[in-house]
A = this chain, B = another copy of it.
Amino acid sequence: MGATKTDHFTDQQNTLATLLKALGHPARVAIIEYLMKVDTCICGDIVNELPLAQPTVSQHLKELKNAGLIKGSIEGNSICYCIEEEAIEKLQNYFANISVKLSNKKNNCC
């Protein structure tokens, strides 16, 4: 075992879980927040901002890219990463939706 049984869930659920999982690590949260902080999308020095070795950061960047949360374009001999807005919007919509539904219930619960 050990492998997630994605085939038993809806595409929606799997896609969402992939996005959330990609953000489910403090280093990757930190990367996103750094990309937010620096006004223009920054080339490179993410490594210097994080308390992790260069290969580790590179790996986290790859995961964020695979999940569709950031994109990177080559800029000379460095690479320019920035946030993929659609992905953030997808998440924003999802939680906004749940929040609305929750406040409509108020509160048949425990």
Taking beta carbons and an 8 Å cutoff, which residues of A are in contact with B?
A: 4-6, 8-10, 13-14, 16-18, 20-30, 32-33, 36, 39-41, 50-52, 71-73, 75, 80, 82-83, 85, 88-89, 91-92, 95-96, 98-99, 101-102, 105, 108-110
In contact, A88 and B108 (Cβ under 8 angstroms) = no
Q: What's the number of copies of this chain in the assembled complex?
A: 2
In contact, A4 and B25 (Cβ under 8 angstroms) = yes
Identify the closest chain B residue to A106 (Cβ): B85
- In the bound complex, residues from chain B placing their C-beta under 8 Å from that of A20 are 20-21, 23-24, 29
In contact, A26 and B51 (Cβ under 8 angstroms) = no
In contact, A29 and B52 (Cβ under 8 angstroms) = no
- In the bound complex, residues from chain B placing their C-beta under 8 Å from that of A83 are 102, 109
Q: Contacts A98-B36, A110-B41 given: A24-B26 contact, CB under 8 Å? A: no
CA of A83 to CA of B99 in the docked complex: distance in angstroms?
11
In contact, B17 and A26 (Cβ under 8 angstroms) = yes
- In the bound complex, residues from chain B placing their C-beta under 8 Å from that of A39 are 105, 108
